[in-house]
A and B are shown apart, each in its own frame.
Chain A
Amino acid sequence: EVQLVESGGGLVQPGGSLKLSCAASGFIFSDSAMHWVRQSSGKGLEWVGRIRSKANSYATAYAASVKGRFTISRDDSNNTAYLQMNSLKTEDTAVYYCTRLVGAKPFGYYYYYMDVWGKGTTVTVSS
């Protein structure tokens, strides 16, 4: 069974740091790009960032709201992705989901989408 399990969430003060983990199983993790998406309470979904596979140079990209503060990394030997969050702000309070990116070619081009999601881990930034 394909599965993603996030961990590492908790309560942290503004300006603090937290590192989330995403443990993957049931698929070839090293071949997959991994994304992080967050959702504030009662609000919509916000894409946080992604890391590509080794074949794609582990390239990362981030939302403007977290760029320079958050870093996504991965350990293919342990099938785990990470989200290092520094200089946290109250507006970073959210449930954080990790997701797997897959691609399909239904008509000529590769189309990418997030097909598997973890259950999420809650991050609360408050004094």
Chain B
Amino acid sequence: DVQMTQSPSSLSASVGDRVTITCRASQSISSFLNWYQQKPGEAPKLLIYAAFSLQSGVPSRFSGSGSGTDFTLTISSLQPEDFATYYCQQGYSTPWTFGQGTKVDVK
């Protein structure tokens, strides 16, 4: 199975900050990497697919990069509605696996 490791597990930031979350796969997964946002009590929401393709309706302050084993999710200017937990997920091989999540909270 492909193991996904996110860092950091949590971070504190302020509105307007640039936030970067990393995700590392235990083997090369090409660009088969998706990012989701989850707020408390809600289902996850797709942000980015295929490593850097922005899902329709997602603000352009979100961006993804990387390929192979190392990936990054960047929020260029953090907004109040962006405080949430973020998960990466590999779609390269079954079983699909998620990172453990990165919680972004208020500094």
Contacts and interface: CB of A to CB of B under 8 A. Distances in A.
A36 to B, nearest CB: 11
A55 interface: no
A46 B91 contact: no
A61 B94 contact: yes
Contacts of A61: 94-95
Nearest to B55: A115
The 4 closest A-B pairs by CB, nearest first: A111-B50, A117-B43, A113-B49, A47-B96
Contacts of B43: 97, 117-120
Contacts of A107: 31, 50
A74 to B, nearest CB: 18
Interface in B6-32: 30-32
B61 interface: no
A26 interface: no
A104 B95 contact: no
Nearest to B97: A47
B39 to A, nearest CB: 12
A115 B46 contact: yes
A111 to B, nearest CB: 4
B104 to A, nearest CB: 15
Interface residues of B, number: 27
B49 A111 contact: yes
Interface of A: 35, 37, 44-47, 50, 61-64, 97, 104, 106-107, 109, 111-115, 117-120
Contact of B49 (A47, A104, A109): A104
29 contacts: A35-B96, A44-B98, A44-B101, A45-B36, A45-B98, A46-B98, A47-B89, A47-B95, A50-B94, A61-B94, A61-B95, A62-B95, A97-B43, A97-B44, A104-B49, A104-B53, A106-B53, A109-B30, A111-B31, A111-B53, A111-B91, A113-B34, A113-B49, A113-B89, A113-B91, A114-B34, A114-B46, A115-B49, A117-B45
- Among B32, B38, B50, B53, the one with the most A-chain Cβ atoms within 10 Å of its Cβ is B50
B87 interface: yes
Interface in B38-81: 38, 42-46, 49-50, 53, 55
